[in-house]
Amino acid sequence: MGIVGGASGGAGKAGDGFLVRTTVGDRVLATRVRPAGSIWGRFRGLMGRPRLDDGEGLWLPGDASIHMLFMRFAIDAVFLAATDKPGNWRVVMVRERLRPWRDVVWWVRGAKGCLEVEAGAARAVGLRAGDTVRFDPA
């Protein structure tokens, strides 16, 4: 599989990377998003990492809930639903500045994946529910 699929929800190979931008205004949300391509990768997520670098993110295909246990830093979580256009995803919910060790986002209705990006990234591009983002090969 190559790029993150539309309705299929494919996440690409573990080594693939993506640039994620808004479809309206063409603002860049993240420049280096890697997919968690296995069950272990989805389970581990960002736990144990000291931080996300500028522009870095993690795509968790199929995840409609996340927790912040064992996390060392805050993140923004963008829950996405597939659209009819491959590579485009509709924003279902944005949770900004989730706190390490404290916050949990329970099941988000309609979400087919979660994009974790550095804290403040969603606000910087004005991202909100109903917007559309596009995954392009990095």
Question: What is the rounded CA–CA span in Å between residue 96 and residue 17?
Answer: 23
Q: Which of 131, 137, 77 is nearest to 103 (CA)?
A: 77
pLDDT digit string, tens, across residues 56-71: 999 999 999 999 999 9
pLDDT digit string, tens, across residues 27-43: 999 999 999 988 888 88
The reported pTM is 0.87
Sorted by where each begins, the domain ranges of the chain are 19-137
Q: Provide the pLDDT for residue 122.
A: 97
**Which stretches within the chain are classed as H helix?**
39-44, 121-124
* 19-137 topology per CATH: Jelly Rolls (2.60.120)
Question: What is the rounded CA–CA span in Å between residue 38 and residue 44?
Answer: 10
Cβ–Cβ < 8 Å for 111, 81: yes
